[in-house]
Chains A and B, each alone.
Chain A
Amino acid sequence: MSKKPSSSPPSLHKVIMVGSGGVGKSALTLQFMYDEFVEDYEPTKADSYRKKVVLDGEEVQIDILDTAGQEDYAAIRDNYFRSGEGFLCVFSITDDESFQATQEFREQILRVKNDENIPFLLVGNKCDLNDKRKVPLSECQARAQQWGGVPYVETSAKTRENVDKVFFDLMREIRSRKTEDSSKASGRAKERKKRKLKCTLL
């Protein structure tokens, strides 16, 4: 990426929470950010969070965009998705509809990002409510497989189970994706540099 190449500020990983309304995107985010579990449900419009975390011994910044699940806001999603570097696609294992909706989100993301290999995690939330499970585990895993082998993780924002894991796993993917890109881009960057030099000379 050609954005500020300086190494001193910690690298920034932009994570976007997607999924139907009420599956627990905000709950996961708040649990991850502030270790708190919010019981009250208040539909999100678009929330922004950013903090420093230590990822495998390296200090990085995570920027979380918590989007609205409600269909009312579907129109503005495109805009949000474009800035995302990685996606947590959340559904509730107690709600089959939310699981079905993930298909739509996946497609929209791929369309906007125009990239099959965008860092992406399928997250089945509310795993503490296993007795009310509506989506069988096998079906979930099958879908993840079908999407080109994206990881599938079950979480609970209430018990904090796997909360850190999904964020950190996603960040790792974003990071490895970035290093890949930069090595690819380095060749091109040299070229560009030359050309740029010429331009300024002109």
Chain B
Amino acid sequence: MAPLPLVTGISPKEGPPGTKIIIRGENLGTRANDLIAVEVCGGECSFEWQSKNKIIARTGINGQKGKGDVIVTTLSGGIGSSTVQFRTYTETIGPLKESAVWVEESPVQSLAWGRRTMATSGYHTVDDPLGLSMEGNDKKFPDDLREMFPENSGDLSRENFSPCWFLLENHHGTSFEDLRAGYAYLKRKVEGQKEGQLSFLKTHVGAVIDQLDTMMNLKKKMDNDGDVDIAKRVHNLQDTISKSIDSSHALFDDVLKRREKADNSRAALSVLNRYKFLFCLPTNIEKNASKNEFDIIVNDYARAKNLYGKSEIPLIQKVLAEADEIILEVRKELHKKIQEMPQGVEQQKRFVKSLINLEIQQIGTKQAEMLKITDPAWDAIASRAKYIEATFKRTYEEFQEKEKENLQKDTTKRDPPIRVLFCEEITEIASGQFPDLWRLGQSYFTGELRGVNEPKPGNFKQIILNAIERFCSYVRAAILPQNQKYSTVTAWSFSSSSQLNLFSTWLPTCLRHLRISYASLIRLDLPNEALDIVLKLIDELRLFCLTTILKKAIDKVKKLHEKESWELSVIEFPGATSLPAKLEELLTEALDEGQQMCLQLEVRENPLFDVPNSEGHREISKIIETILECFSTVLEELATERSDDEIQQLPKQIISGFPTNSLLPHSINLNEAKSTISSTITITWEHRLLCCLANAAYCNKIFINNNLSNLFVKYGYPVPKLALENSRSNVNMVFGNLLEMYVEHKADPLVSTIEPSMYIVSHFKWDGVEKFDNLSPYAHECLDNVVAVYSEIFAISPFLLRPILEQIIQTIAEELARLMVSVDDFNVNGKKQATLDIKMIRDVLRLYSNERAKQSFNEALDAIPKLTADENKNVETLLVSIKQRMKIQLMCLTVVNP
């Protein structure tokens, strides 16, 4: 803060109000704007800043009389002080005296204006009769003088004036010397007054002597002339005297005229002052209109109408008519302003109110007939509604243009697409503008803006509905062009599918924007019909959003096969890989996202799936089905991918399978497997096929029904039963296909080796069998092969044993039956041998034989000529011993439920 202003000099140091003074000092403001006030004797002054050391001021009329400080206030320094004081005194303004300020003359004073001058000197003496400065006497005399001199007074003009009182009151601090000097002064003054007459004679001695001489001459002349025509002389004298009186009157008339003029102008001024308001009214109205201060206009106009409306004075009527003309203009302007957009609703309301007020007040004048605005508030609403629609349209078109521009440019994918920006913009407009419109309507109907006419509720509702409808159709056109059912807005279709895809990821954002503006609409307490329009759009968008999310999942599911790691991680179903879990994960993700975005209800929203068999249901069900279908396809693809490259690509991707001792269901990590089992084993096609089989079986039996439907329940979706059933059958079909493929793959080589190894290898003939002590090699081989297949399957999934082995064994049985039937002849040993072989195979494989297999075995046995009881016994004994020998080898086939 700059130092305080300090006044150290004033020129002059005293004067009546209105005196121009030069103020000097320090820090009187750094520039003209810095100086904000000058106060002299407590009264505000007009001032002119000269420099930081000098101000020219004119004292005001409301300062106190007597001595007072000169206080300068600056912005930079604050309120200052002064070392010097200004003395204000009153000066009576006579008719011939110039005055800088307006002096109020009360009637009494004006009657006695000639005599007032006499009082001036008296006033002066009272102030300081001893001619001593009062400085330093500020301290009041401590005791109560009225007690000390009960009879007397300190007032010089009173009869009971007491000098003691006066001196104690005013000069109790003055030194004796000073008092003496004061006494001398008083004495001189009294002497001066006494000398007054004498000194007058002294100063005018020439004139007095002249007068005496003239009188002497006159006497002489009169003596000389004797009594000749004295009357005539006297008459002449009288004439002269009257002439001089006239001329003196003429002199004074001038003064009187001036006074009259002054009185006239004063009267005119007071009339002006009294009617100032009225005369300034037209100008003020115009001024305020240009400043948009319509409230003031309404007030002024109402006041003028009240005060002067019924006046019959032509001047006032004229002025009022002029004002009416201007008011008419103002009304026109207001009406225009009301319809001007954009503007704040409060301002609009103010305009409407002002207009209605003016309208009412002007009723009855001829100007009122010239412009009839029936319902300004309605006009305001209409124009606002129109503006909103126009804004929507403009925004819509603007953004469409922008997108076109952007298409040509290389758009970076980071930025949200134009459509999203549009969505944001338009919802913002909606939540910004609707409240205004609604509020305006509310105040219209509550009567706040009610004009002369009754409101029209139906129309307003329609306006609101229309506006909302518009809003929704623009949003729909931009976001859901494919759902476009209304022809009001030209759809803003996507130019390419990639654009659509890109946009789809931003759908939740759009939904959020829409919901925000929906919430703001709800807060407005709009009628349900209006809200439902938006709600419908939101529902549509939610569903669309949900389907988009799920569709994304489809794409991911399609790529699932890349994710297969051949990890046997399903505890409850050995052999199944983590693939179904991954599907579950994907679905969880999608469903979760969908649930959060679309299913979670916000204020005043309906559950998406509350109506069974609604469009939503069908849609979702369809997508889920597609997803699962894709999954089946993936499974099948994985199994049939037979390229050797794959194996080479994944040389270390080993499948360890289930070691024989690990019947306990537990998952085996790949790494673990690598370390425990020989790392040379590669994932063969058979392995993968089996895994897929296991997966398919797992899905069919457990996964789809349990895990997936649980998932839907958990996230609050309706369980798409039909889709799940369909997909189960799909998976089942896949399972069947794969099974067939595997069985074919395994059974063909196995079965086709039986005949060659029976005959070709050792030129074997059933009629030339020489010894009978063991199983035939082909039977051995056959059993070995079965066990090998068993172990391969078991390694992956025990669950698959039965379906696969049954098939294989059936083919084996059929083959054996075919072979036996086609044998021409058996010798004794041959008979025995064949019986032994078949029986052995039949018995061993009994657990996995289905009816047809058993039947085929019996067919084979029937084809062999009947054995004698002896032979038969021989065969049975050997059979038992062979079984005993091969017990360990064949044990696996005897476990009912591995």
Given known A3-B136, A82-B185, contact A33–B14 (CB-CB < 8 A): no
A33 touches B9 (CB 8 A): yes
Chain A 29-49 interface residues, beta-carbon cutoff 8 Å to B? 30, 33-34, 36, 44-49
CB distance from A125 to the nearest CB of B (A): 18
B11 touches A44 (CB 8 A): yes
Bound together, the chains give a CA A77 to CA B184 distance in angstroms of 16
Q: Is A79 an interface residue (CB 8 A)?
A: yes
CB distance from B665 to the nearest CB of A (A): 106
Given known A33-B8, A44-B12, A47-B9, contact A61–B83 (CB-CB < 8 A): yes
Bound together, the chains give a CA A129 to CA B462 distance in angstroms of 97
Given known A2-B175, A34-B53, A61-B83, contact A49–B133 (CB-CB < 8 A): no
Other-chain residue from A33, A82, A83 in contact with B24 (beta carbon distance below 8 A): A33
Chain B residues within 8 Å of A61, by CB: 83
Chain B residues within 8 Å of A51, by CB: 8-9, 83
Q: Is A114 an interface residue (CB 8 A)?
A: yes
Given known A1-B175, A4-B136, A82-B132, contact A49–B84 (CB-CB < 8 A): yes
Interface string of B1-29 (1 = CB under 8 A from A): 00000001111111100000000100000
Interface string of B132-154 (1 = CB under 8 A from A): 11011000000000000000000
Bound together, the chains give a CA A73 to CA B547 distance in angstroms of 106
Chain A 62-84 interface residues, beta-carbon cutoff 8 Å to B? 63, 65-66, 78-79, 82-83
Chain A residues within 8 Å of B14, by CB: 45-46
CB distance from B168 to the nearest CB of A (A): 12
Q: Is A50 an interface residue (CB 8 A)?
A: yes
Chain B residues within 8 Å of A63, by CB: 84
Q: Most chain-A Cβ atoms within 10 A of its Cβ — which of B12, B15, B85, B132?
A: B12
Other-chain residue from B12, B131, B135, B181 in contact with A46 (beta carbon distance below 8 A): B12
Other-chain residue from B135, B173, B184 in contact with A2 (beta carbon distance below 8 A): B173
Q: Most chain-B Cβ atoms within 10 A of its Cβ — which of A1, A3, A48, A114?
A: A48
Chain B residues within 8 Å of A44, by CB: 11-12
Interface string of B717-746 (1 = CB under 8 A from A): 000000000000000000000000000000
Chain B residues within 8 Å of A36, by CB: 53
Bound together, the chains give a CA A82 to CA B84 distance in angstroms of 18
Chain B 841-889 interface residues, beta-carbon cutoff 8 Å to A? none
A48 touches B131 (CB 8 A): no
Chain B residues within 8 Å of A3, by CB: 136, 173, 175
Chain B residue at minimum C-beta to C-beta distance from A79: B131
Chain A 20-34 interface residues, beta-carbon cutoff 8 Å to B? 26, 30, 33-34
Bound together, the chains give a CA A34 to CA B128 distance in angstroms of 32
Chain A residues within 8 Å of B185, by CB: 78, 82
CB distance from B173 to the nearest CB of A (A): 7
Q: Most chain-A Cβ atoms within 10 A of its Cβ — which of B13, B173, B185?
A: B13
Chain A residues within 8 Å of B11, by CB: 26, 44-45, 47-48, 66
A47 touches B13 (CB 8 A): yes
Other-chain residue from B9, B128, B181, B184 in contact with A48 (beta carbon distance below 8 A): B9
Chain A residues within 8 Å of B86, by CB: 48
Interface range for B: 20 to 34
CB distance from B241 to the nearest CB of A (A): 36
A82 touches B133 (CB 8 A): yes
Chain B residues within 8 Å of A65, by CB: 13
Bound together, the chains give a CA A2 to CA B175 distance in angstroms of 6
Chain A residue at minimum C-beta to C-beta distance from B51: A36
A34 touches B12 (CB 8 A): no
B12 touches A50 (CB 8 A): no
Chain B residues within 8 Å of A2, by CB: 173, 175
Q: Most chain-A Cβ atoms within 10 A of its Cβ — which of B9, B12, B85?
A: B9
Chain B residue at minimum C-beta to C-beta distance from A61: B83
CB distance from A1 to the nearest CB of B (A): 6
CB distance from A84 to the nearest CB of B (A): 10
CB distance from A5 to the nearest CB of B (A): 11
Chain B residues within 8 Å of A34, by CB: 9, 24, 53
Chain B residues within 8 Å of A46, by CB: 12-14
Bound together, the chains give a CA A36 to CA B51 distance in angstroms of 12
Chain B residues within 8 Å of A82, by CB: 131-133, 181, 185
Interface string of A125-165 (1 = CB under 8 A from B): 00000000000000000000000000000000000000000
Other-chain residue from B9, B12, B184 in contact with A45 (beta carbon distance below 8 A): B12
Chain B 175-218 interface residues, beta-carbon cutoff 8 Å to A? 175, 181, 184-185
Chain A residues within 8 Å of B175, by CB: 1-3
CB distance from A116 to the nearest CB of B (A): 14
A48 touches B24 (CB 8 A): no
B133 touches A50 (CB 8 A): no
Given known A34-B24, A49-B84, contact A114–B184 (CB-CB < 8 A): yes
Bound together, the chains give a CA A2 to CA B185 distance in angstroms of 21
Given known A2-B175, A82-B181, contact A48–B133 (CB-CB < 8 A): no
A49 touches B9 (CB 8 A): yes
Chain B residues within 8 Å of A4, by CB: 136
Chain B residue at minimum C-beta to C-beta distance from A65: B13
B12 touches A47 (CB 8 A): yes
Bound together, the chains give a CA A114 to CA B85 distance in angstroms of 27
Given known A1-B175, A83-B135, contact A47–B10 (CB-CB < 8 A): yes
CB distance from A80 to the nearest CB of B (A): 9
Bound together, the chains give a CA A112 to CA B133 distance in angstroms of 14
B10 touches A48 (CB 8 A): yes
Bound together, the chains give a CA A83 to CA B175 distance in angstroms of 12
CB distance from B89 to the nearest CB of A (A): 12
Chain B 320-375 interface residues, beta-carbon cutoff 8 Å to A? none
B8 touches A49 (CB 8 A): yes
Bound together, the chains give a CA A33 to CA B54 distance in angstroms of 12
Interface string of A96-120 (1 = CB under 8 A from B): 0000000000000000111000000
Chain B residue at minimum C-beta to C-beta distance from A47: B11
CB distance from B309 to the nearest CB of A (A): 54
Chain B 428-442 interface residues, beta-carbon cutoff 8 Å to A? none
Chain A residues within 8 Å of B53, by CB: 34, 36
B136 touches A48 (CB 8 A): no
Chain B residue at minimum C-beta to C-beta distance from A78: B131
Bound together, the chains give a CA A51 to CA B185 distance in angstroms of 30
Bound together, the chains give a CA A47 to CA B20 distance in angstroms of 12
CB distance from B87 to the nearest CB of A (A): 9
CB distance from A200 to the nearest CB of B (A): 10
CB distance from B717 to the nearest CB of A (A): 93
Bound together, the chains give a CA A33 to CA B12 distance in angstroms of 15
Bound together, the chains give a CA A63 to CA B84 distance in angstroms of 8
Chain B residue at minimum C-beta to C-beta distance from A3: B136
Chain B residue at minimum C-beta to C-beta distance from A68: B12
Bound together, the chains give a CA A49 to CA B185 distance in angstroms of 26
A114 touches B13 (CB 8 A): no
Chain A residues within 8 Å of B173, by CB: 2-3
Bound together, the chains give a CA A26 to CA B133 distance in angstroms of 22
B135 touches A48 (CB 8 A): no
Bound together, the chains give a CA A113 to CA B131 distance in angstroms of 12
Chain A residues within 8 Å of B181, by CB: 82, 112-114
Chain B residues within 8 Å of A78, by CB: 131, 185
CB distance from B420 to the nearest CB of A (A): 72
Chain B residue at minimum C-beta to C-beta distance from A35: B53
CB distance from B219 to the nearest CB of A (A): 41
Bound together, the chains give a CA A102 to CA B133 distance in angstroms of 25
CB distance from A194 to the nearest CB of B (A): 16
Chain A residues within 8 Å of B184, by CB: 114
- 6 of the cross-chain contacts (CB-CB < 8 Å) are A34-B9, A44-B12, A45-B11, A50-B8, A82-B132, A113-B181
| Residues of chain B having any CB pair with chain A under 8 Å | 8-15, 24, 53, 83-86, 128, 131-133, 135-136, 173, 175, 181, 184-185
Question: Which 4 A-B pairs give the minimum distances between C-beta atoms?
Answer: A48-B13, A47-B11, A49-B9, A50-B83
Other A-B contacts than A2-B173, A45-B11, 18 sampled, CB-CB below 8 A, are A1-B175, A3-B136, A4-B136, A33-B8, A33-B24, A34-B53, A44-B12, A45-B15, A47-B9, A49-B8, A50-B9, A51-B8, A61-B83, A63-B84, A66-B11, A79-B128, A82-B181, A112-B181
